[in-house]
Structure 1
Amino acid sequence: MRIRFPIARATRPSARPSSRRVFFGAVLLSAALGLGLAPLGPPGQAAHADEAADASELTVEAPAGGPFTGLKVTVSKTKGLTSEALTVTWTGGAPTRLGFEANYLQLMQCWGPDPNAADFRETCQYGYSASLLNTSLGLGGEDTDGRGRIERYGEDPAEPLPEGAQSVPFKAVTGERTPDGSANDPMVDGDGKPTSAHQTLAEFFNPFTTNEIPAARTTGDGTGRVIFEAQTAVEAPALGCGAVDGGRARGCWLVIVPRGNERVDGTPVPERTKLDGSPLQGGIFADRLVVPLEFSPIGAFCPLGAKEYRTVGSELVAEAVTSWQPKLCADSGPVFGYSTIGDALARSQVAGGNPGAPGMAFTADPVTAADGPKQVVHAPVTLSGTVIAFNIDAATENAADPDAKARYATAIKDLKLTPRLVAKLLTQSYPADVPGGNQGEAAHLAGNPRSLTNDPEFLELQPFFKHFHPLASQPFGLMTTIGDSASARAVWSWILADAEAAAWIGGRADPWGMKVNPNYRVTDPAAAASRGDYPKADPACHRANSKVPPPGYCTLDLRPYSTSMHKSAQLTLRGDALSKTFWDENKLPPAFVADAPRQPGRRYHLAITDAASAARYGLYTASLRNRAGEFVKPDGAGMIAAATAMRPTAASGVVATDPGVSTPGAYPLTSVTYAAVNKSLDRDSLKAYAAFIRHAAGPGQESGESAGQLPRGYTPLPAAFRDTAREAAEELEKVAVTAPTTGPGGAGGPPGRPGVPAGGGTPSGTPSGTVLPSTEAIGQSDATRAIVLGVIRFALVAALVLGGTGILAGPTIRRFAGRHRMTLDP
């Protein structure tokens, strides 16, 4: 489908009365109160270019006869959107000059109801990344805030800002508006003191939350591809996309502004000089292409006040449960709440059957006698896996090879990783992953390659990386999550089942002489294979100069934890490593502040996440070497091969991967996640959980993006697993016939009351000796992680509890992390 929108010139509107705080509060309140009842919608089908097109894919064209004649831009999905990634591709563009000097696209999300309205440009979330791009690439360019008015090269006749104006105002969906900086509309703070455009924008969005793309590269054949993060009213309250207004979800727009190689006065842009001017400037914005975005509503899909049946456990099922919830509660069906907690804690809670405990837990590990009474039924519900997702741009601007140079800033699509390479990343064995390592301070890593890109083992598998810029191509570590999980146990089991990796992590050098960071050396591989977390063990800290107080920044500042695998995927898409290594003397009090997200051409991010989260955010995933010596991607074929080779465990109906078995074609980090239900529950709860399992084993295994279907990133369960699930549901239904109307287990509180997981929902099962980071080290928006997923109400409460704990414990933890060593042995 192709559409065209006529374009109108922009003019300045008048300001409206303020209602921003009321609206923002309403958005967060509706999300918090409706999470268990009202998911944000099924995860999207954001796809790579080689995947099947979505039914709502849309193509827009630049007007014929204009400066960008022939440009056609296609957006992979435009309806039923949530917080997800959209694949934007185009043809007919002029090749981008090296360094993003000219000929590129700029993308942003706007909320204005009419793309032809005079004030439409003021509704666009844009204003930070232009300066960040200039800084990261070492370019000139005078537009410092992305919304500025540039007139050095001639007056723009299409620019209506008044004399002396500094910036195109931003108007939030509530009508609140930033000043333009002119004499009649000065930029001042609450005390009337002069301030900057960035500071006025920060009230609505900032470099860490904006989804703007300041420069998307067009290749030599006139084509291009970029991943754009669609944001709902939860991630971008000032846009309000998806918020229910007048009974309908508010829509938004994806705006693409093509840039050529001429300034506003028609003169060409000199070599090694970046094109001036904000994409919001009148004459530049006039060339915009607009794509309508329809969002799923943020609101109550299930009846408020209904009895809620609680579920907890593995994040591996989060996207599936989010999709199933609204279908299950339709037509007065049961309402299910869901909160992600560590597998070990989830198993113990459901096994105990204590009053107020959740009645069903999701886990890849079976509930055993060690967890509690043997009254648990297991039902397989999802087939997915842990993945290593990446967002890597080809840093080949200085490559001698012309073909490699032509691929500068394009996305790397394939990556091969061995167990030993992943072990190197997880053990801070590259100097670049240790505070001060890039400055030559990591004496305990002497002789090791600086980073993954410099590792001969890595380059043997990926020879193209030899063309990367030696300094600008450094990865930002491997992002991991905090807490206990079966996912982490699967990673360590895979690593330590490999003879090469096990020997290396035990202290033996690899064939090129690289050794494990001694803080992570394993003396008991069998015991280490069972750990369920990712330690941050190196005690090194670094001070850039004497102005920085000791100890400087440490491991948890340089390579902090993410709060969830979902968040890890989102941050990887954004190019944000959560690092805090810049000492800000102007901050009160002075402190280390977050490093800016990386921009196109400089992104090199890897994260351990789940396959569904990687799919939601359009990330490529690495091929991992299995026991058969094959590099396998986490696709359906690889997961089916792994699932069919799984072996029975001590728990009835439960199978698991044996890391020591060689299975051709199997993806090594495949997981079958089970719903474990305590049979001592009351009658209604047993029936409700049986209904959940029946849906999961039936319609819930149909791949698709509609409510009730199986989202992308999951593989439908083989028939034998579905049969096992149905048998489990039947067993629960038989027990329900003689079960009491009330019992020691529970659905999670009285009708309509948000439940809170036992233990407050804090990260569970953290092994003794593990150093927990402070809230600051974990990253931004901890309390909104549950909102992003659209999960149960009490997940928000749990996240808030975690945040409060981190705030209280943070200073002590940070000091501890700087002084103590830790090995991988449990």
Structure 2
Amino acid sequence: MRRAVLVLTAVLTVGALVSPGGATADTSDAFSATKSMERVFEEDGDRVVVDERTVTVKVDHTKNLRGRERVQVSWSGAHPSGGRATNPFGEKGLDQEYPVVVLQCRGRDDSSLPAARRLARETCWTSTPRQRSVQASERTALWRQDAFASAADREPKSGLSPFPSERCDDVERLSSRVTPFKAASGTVHLSCSATTMAPEAAADAAFPPAEVAAFTDVDGNGRVSFEVRTATENESLGCSSTTPCSLVVIPIMGISCADDASNECLKTGQFAPGSSNYSGEGVDAAVSPVYWWAESNWRNRISVPLTFATEPDVCDVKDSRAPTAFYGSELLSQASTQWAPAYCLKRDRFKFQHNRMADGAAFALMERGDAAAAFVSGGQEAASDTRVGYAPTAVTGFAVSYVIDRPDNAGELGELRLTPRLLAKLITQSYTGSTIGQQHPGMAKNPMSINQDPEFKALNPGLDSIAREAGAALLSLSEASDVVESITTYIASDPEAAAFVKGQADPWGMVVNPSYRAIKLPVDEWPLLDKFVPTSTQECRRQISTPYMTQLAAPISSLRKIAEAVLDGWPNVQTKCTRSSVSDPWKMGRVDRQGIGSRFMLGVVGLGDAARLDLRTASLQTKVTRGSGTAFTDASGRSFVEPTSSAVLAAVRTARRSEQPFGAFALGPATTGANAKAYPGAMIVYTAARLEGMAKADARKVAQFIRVSTTEGQRAGAANGQLPRGFVPITRNGATAALWKQADAVADAVESQTPSAADEDGEDETTPEKESPGGGAPAPPGAAPGADVPAAGPAVAPPNAPAATTTLETAPTAATTSSTGRLLMAGLLGVLLLAGFGAPAVRVVALVRGGRR
């Protein structure tokens, strides 16, 4: 008898990995394992090997994972797949042959562990009953014909004892098998029908399926991005920093058949290697993923231990001190989420909290003394003579993330090139979106979506030309942000893009949306100026007079939400007509998630989010060496750069010091223009703080934060206190040395503080120090919910906030704003909030600002 030979090695590689987000990360938590596997047929008591493979599986990182983070799983040596499914996730991935199944399971593959912490089929997550339960005739009940099946599994009813026939077996004469799911709570979900699945597997679940039956190419290689989920996203699965979990990779070799097996068991596939199964035709079940749980397949698993970062509420649970809140740029969110526990879990440090807010509004709070510090991505317009220092804290930036499927089921597009003019077309809503949008005056001859644009097709050949509303706009922010200012500066600095915005047609005849012709750029908040309402025969559109282009653009208030929309392939386009019943009024809602194989959407994201979620990011044009202003058919004469660490560093090398002491560095197209290898989306996030008049306690905290964040906080890694992917470390030497030097100097200047007026009037050292908002005093005007926390109690994190980050949502605006306007807004918002108006205050502010124009 020939037995499978197990060769299993875990290889830990130390090095540096360039992430999609452009940062370097320690890869000491990478995983690699090799295993020999075979398929056998029993013949007269002997086992004959009919197929054998040596499969190597690699995972790029496995430790300190966070919810919805994606890891790269790759393999070699597997059986080539056939009948490729257009959607490999969840139940839709079952109709293919010889895929590699990847699952997230609770527990570890270690027999020495207690049973409750041990990996089992019953602890692996799937989304539908078909992936766990099956009924079949004796001839097609292949799990009963498995040469490696136990006696219990060969019984007509198996998987549970006693078998729940009244709930999982409608036909007594058929063989039945269930693989129940055992939740972290101990509850056993039978998983043989929609009503017996775990609650997170509901048809309208918040998240799409993560489990995947991935395709292997004709050379035996494959790769997939796998999204891990914590107890926050999937409570039943229950993975956390204290609950061990694993990634389980199962290369489907086929059922090994016993002596008495039927011909159905002996089948080896009807689809040729590399072929597609567009119509979802039936496949040979013996080599399909439907039986991932059968012993022949399960025994070939390679399990990858996963560890998860501390929970988002760890600071609230373990530190009862009130937090000191810093306000500002969302670009820092991934870093501040990792940094926060490194402060609150050490008693000699303060409890740090990052509340996301528009850069300008945060700066205004800090400048007025209502916040200890502000995170900003560039120099801000001051409203007073108070001296402010800008301490460089993080090097990151923005990216245009995308999910685009290639035609003919060929997988995702791996490289996307964009010019400033293409971004200008998207942001000015100059694509018509559909035949409805073609009614727009002055735009009838414009392409419906970017994939129909000759400029886009010349740079990105091989894609389809199907009109898509989601391809007519760039999903972007609805509120003020230095990210918007950076994008529009990039557009304004390019002669081709600037000419297009001013009204000059591109070389193929496309023109700017008249509503945005000659808009003054740059702006830090993109206005929704288009008021075009189309005529339509649709009943819902006759009832709802909503500007169509605004429905296509549908901006979002958070970079993180944009990133998750791209991750899910779910545009925010608001053109779906819905109503609860025929007697209810129509309303416009969000369109459905795009199907795998036909996805096409783009969104503005932070490099930190892009790296965490493993999103693809576009290469942006940096230089035109010939043919400017003329039609072109390929990328010749144009340079494009993706956001790698080297490209971000190349941009940082061009940064210029401010003429003001401790001012923000100049970084942008004006400095990077001569360097074709510099990424134009690179940005520096600063900790901005007053150099005079600050309470001594606050000054010490801000100085401590700057020093810690620019030393240990710049060590790349996924652990608490380290710098996540998507950021380039600030170091004492090299390209970022000037940034580090200024941060160090600003920390000293903040801590020393020019004497305040109170000190000059004779206040002595025994006078109680004024605490910062969030340090026991009421929250400042404009603060997010949860910032006003009594000193004796734990901080209250707002709903849906990541880790120690508090989120402030603001309403979208309808016009361009100035820095002065932002300051007025922050002041008015504070008055209204203190008066108890809360959320309505935001709407009042928007009306006031709109009325000034």
TM normalised by structure 1 equals: 0.74
1:568 corresponds to which of 562, 587, 590? 562
Is contact 2:104-2:211 (8 Å) kept?
A: no
Which residue in the other structure is 1:631 paired with? Answer: 640
Residue 351 of structure 1: CA displacement?
A: 0.5
User: Any unmatched runs of 5+ in structure 2?
Assistant: 1-5, 11-16, 40-50, 86-95, 145-152, 160-164, 171-175, 256-262, 272-276, 626-638, 731-735, 786-796, 812-828
1:392 aligns with 2:404: yes
Secondary structure at the residue paired with 2:104?
strand
Is contact 2:65-2:718 (8 Å) kept?
A: no
Residue 449 of structure 1: CA displacement?
A: 2.3
What code does the residue aligned with 1:351 have? E
Q: How big is each residue's C-alpha offset from its partner over 1:127-161, in whole Å with a ceiling of 9 and x where there is no partner? A: 26xxxxxxxxxxxxxx8x65452637812425726
Residue 513 of structure 1: CA displacement?
A: 0.9
**How far, CA to CA, are the matches of 1:530 and 1:744 in structure 2?**
39
Residue 483 of structure 1: CA displacement?
A: 0.9
Larger deviation, residues 473-482 vs 603-612:
473-482
Residue 599 of structure 1: CA displacement?
A: 4.7
Residue 395 of structure 1: CA displacement?
A: 2.2
Is contact 2:20-2:616 (8 Å) kept?
A: no
Q: How big is each residue's C-alpha offset from its partner over 1:170-193, in whole Å with a ceiling of 9 and x where there is no partner? A: 443223454545xxxxx6xxxxxx
Which residue in the other structure is 1:400 paired with? Answer: none
Larger deviation, residues 87-96 vs 106-115:
106-115
2:772 corresponds to which of 722, 736, 747? 747
Is contact 1:420-1:500 (8 Å) kept?
A: yes
1:758 aligns with 2:770: no
Residue 748 of structure 1: CA displacement?
A: 2.0
Is contact 1:109-1:255 (8 Å) kept?
A: yes
1:294 corresponds to which of 300, 304, 307? 307
Which residue in the other structure is 2:523 paired with? Answer: 530
**How far, CA to CA, are the matches of 1:362 and 1:810 in structure 2?**
21
1:104 aligns with 2:99: yes
2:386 corresponds to which of 349, 358, 374? 374
Secondary structure at the residue paired with 1:725?
helix
Secondary structure at the residue paired with 1:381?
strand
**How far, CA to CA, are the matches of 1:50 and 1:264 in structure 2?**
51
Which residue in the other structure is 2:274 paired with? Answer: none
Larger deviation, residues 84-93 vs 556-565:
556-565
Is contact 1:46-1:76 (8 Å) kept?
A: no
Which residue in the other structure is 2:148 paired with? Answer: none
Is contact 1:82-1:296 (8 Å) kept?
A: yes
Is contact 1:207-1:597 (8 Å) kept?
A: no
Residue 48 of structure 1: CA displacement?
A: 9.7
1:687 aligns with 2:697: no
Which residue in the other structure is 2:458 paired with? Answer: 460
Distance 1:367 1:507, change over 3 A: closer
Residue 342 of structure 1: CA displacement?
A: 0.4
1:217 aligns with 2:215: yes
Q: How big is each residue's C-alpha offset from its partner over 1:666-716, in whole Å with a ceiling of 9 and x where there is no partner? A: 222221121111232211210111111112333323333333332221122
**How far, CA to CA, are the matches of 2:745 and 2:489 in structure 1?**
30
Secondary structure at the residue paired with 1:312?
strand
Distance 1:796 1:109, change over 3 A: farther
**How far, CA to CA, are the matches of 2:179 and 2:588 in structure 1?**
31
Which residue in the other structure is 1:40 paired with? Answer: none
Secondary structure at the residue paired with 2:305?
strand
What code does the residue aligned with 1:364 have? S
Distance 1:280 1:178, change over 3 A: farther
1:489 aligns with 2:485: yes
The alignment's C-alpha RMSD in Å is 4.4
Distance 1:441 1:744, change over 3 A: farther
**How far, CA to CA, are the matches of 1:124 and 1:314 in structure 2?**
38
Secondary structure at the residue paired with 2:703?
helix
Which residue in the other structure is 1:311 paired with? Answer: 326
Q: How many residues align?
A: 698
Select the structure of larger CA radius of gyration: 2
Which residue in the other structure is 1:14 paired with? Answer: none
**How far, CA to CA, are the matches of 1:231 and 1:176 in structure 2?**
19
TM normalised by structure 2 equals: 0.71
Which residue in the other structure is 2:733 paired with? Answer: none
Q: How big is each residue's C-alpha offset from its partner over 1:559-608, in whole Å with a ceiling of 9 and x where there is no partner? A: 53334222322332232224455555667967666544345433333221
Distance 1:420 1:364, change over 3 A: same
Which residue in the other structure is 1:58 paired with? Answer: 31
What code does the residue aligned with 1:461 have? L
1:668 aligns with 2:662: no
Residue 202 of structure 1: CA displacement?
A: 4.9
What code does the residue aligned with 2:704 have? A
1:149 aligns with 2:134: yes
Which residue in the other structure is 2:417 paired with? Answer: 416
Which residue in the other structure is 1:646 paired with? Answer: 655
**How far, CA to CA, are the matches of 2:24 and 2:807 in structure 1?**
33
**How far, CA to CA, are the matches of 1:121 and 1:583 in structure 2?**
42
Distance 1:567 1:115, change over 3 A: farther
**How far, CA to CA, are the matches of 1:198 and 1:562 in structure 2?**
36
1:657 aligns with 2:667: yes
Distance 1:278 1:632, change over 3 A: closer
Secondary structure at the residue paired with 2:337?
helix
What code does the residue aligned with 1:514 have? M
Residue 415 of structure 1: CA displacement?
A: 1.8
Residue 359 of structure 1: CA displacement?
A: 0.6
**How far, CA to CA, are the matches of 1:268 and 1:541 in structure 2?**
56
Distance 1:280 1:270, change over 3 A: closer
Is contact 1:359-1:677 (8 Å) kept?
A: yes
Which residue in the other structure is 2:745 paired with? Answer: 727
1:256 corresponds to which of 246, 249, 252? 249
Is contact 1:89-1:224 (8 Å) kept?
A: yes
Distance 1:797 1:622, change over 3 A: closer
Is contact 2:378-2:665 (8 Å) kept?
A: no
Larger deviation, residues 731-740 vs 586-595:
586-595
